[in-house]
Amino acid sequence: MQNAVKGKDGITRYLVTIKVNGDEYTRIVKANTLLVNFLRDELDLTGTKRGCELGDCGSCTVLLNGKPVDSCLVLAVEADGQEVTTIEGVAGVDGLDKIQEEFIKNGGLQCGYCTPGMIMSAKALLAKNPKPTEKEVREAIAGNLCRCTGYVLIVKSILAASGQEMETYYE
């Protein structure tokens, strides 16, 4: 790889440029730097959470070229030249995204730790499928573990963001 330089400690470091939330950031990283740590430590984008660190919980979900991935399973060097969207890139200057609004309105969050990842999964789903069924919503967030809500109000929030009622919801 061209943009690599070996440090005094004998460890190679790599120059990477990643477009995050529309802006390009160039940093020097070690090969073992995970995208989640790149975002949190290098860019201070701490909205992306570390949960299980094994791809089981989805707390670190970001969009990589528009698709949700666990940023704890992606090396920063692998994301070189790619586009990443994090939770910080979801709201616009003129206000919250519809999904974010509906999470607040419908009680789709409690401790909030899984929320950024959950919203990223929802964002990707609705971008691809604006009117998902309840089953499709559940499929889309099945990689995002929430310990607080039992998912009911999360599913309701996402359906609401797509302009739909949750048919199984009992008021």
Partner 1 sequence: MSLLPEYRDPSKKKEYAVIGKSKPKIDGPEKVTGAAKYCGDLKFPNMLYGKMLTSPYAHAKILSIDTSEAEKIPGVKAVITHKDVPSKKYGISPARWDENCLCIDKVRYVGDKVAAVACVDEETCYKALAAIKVEYEPLPAVLDYRHAGDEGMPNIHEEYPGNINTEIHQEFGDLKKAFEEAYYVRKDVFQGQRAYQSPIEAHCAISMWNGNKLTIYSTTQSTHYFQYYIAREFDLKMGDVRIIKPYIGGGFGGKLEPTGLEFNGAVLAKITGRPVKMFYDRADMFYHNRGRHQGTYELTTAVDKNGKILGVHANFILDGGAYTSLGIATAYYAGALLPLTYEFDNYKFDMYRMYTNLPACGAQRGHGAPQPKYAFESHLDNIARDLGIDPLEIRLVNARKPYTTTVNSFDIQSCELKACLERVAELSDWRKKKKEGMPKNTGIGIATGAFVSGAGYPIYRNDWPDASCMIRMNEDGTSATVYNTTVDLGQGSDTVICQMAAEAMGYRYENMRIISGDTEAGPMDFGAYSSRQTLMSGWAAKRAGEDIKRQVLNMAAAMMGLPPDDLDARDGIIFSKSHHHPTKWQPLTYEEVVSQYCKLYGPLIGKGMYKVHATGGTFKGAAVGTSPAYSFCVQAAEVKVDEETGEIEVLAFYDVHDCGQPINPMLIKGQVHGALYMGMAETYWEEVHFDPKTGVCLNPTLGGYLLPTALDMPKIIKNEIVDSYEIVAPWGVKEVGEGSTNPTMGCFRNAIVDAVGVTINSTPITYEKVWRALKDKKEGKQPAEIKMPPPPANAAVKPY
Partner 2 sequence: MYIPDFEYYAPDSLDEACQMLAQFGGRAKVLAGGTDILPKAKTFSPIAPPQTPLPEILVSLKNLEELKKIEYVPGKGVVIGALATHNDLVNSELLNKKYMSISEAAHQMANNQVRNRGTVGGNLINAVPSADLPPILIALNASIKLVSVDGERVLPLEELFLDVCVTCCTEKEILTEVVIPDQKMTGSNYIKFGARRSGALAIAGVAVAVEVENNVIKDARIVAGAVAPTPIRTKKAEDFLKGKEVTAELLEEAGVIASGECKPITDIRGSAEYRTNLVRVLTKRALRKAIDQGHV
Contact positions vs partner 2 (CB under 8 A): 1, 4, 11-12, 14, 30-32, 34, 50, 53-56, 58, 61, 64, 67-70, 73-75, 77-78, 121, 139-140, 142-143
Rounded distance between C-alpha atoms, residue 100 and residue 83, angstroms:
22
- Work out whether 164 is an interface residue with partner 1 (CB under 8 A): no
Residue number with CB closer to partner 2 (68 or 108): 68
Those residues with Cβ within 8 angstroms of residue 133's Cβ, 6 or more apart along the chain or in another chain: none
Nearest to 143 by CA among 39, 71, 89, 38: 71
Q: Taking CB under 8 A as the rule, which mask of x and - marks residues 30-49 in contact with partner 1?
A: --x-------x---xxxxxx
Q: Which two tokens stand for residue 6?
A: 């070996």
CB of 21 to partner 1, least distance (A): 11
- Work out whether 91 is an interface residue with partner 1 (CB under 8 A): yes
> Is the separation of the CB atoms in 38 and 29 below 8 Å?
yes
70, interface contact from partner 2, partner 1, none, CB < 5-8 Å by kind: partner 2
At position 108, the amino acid (one-letter code) is G
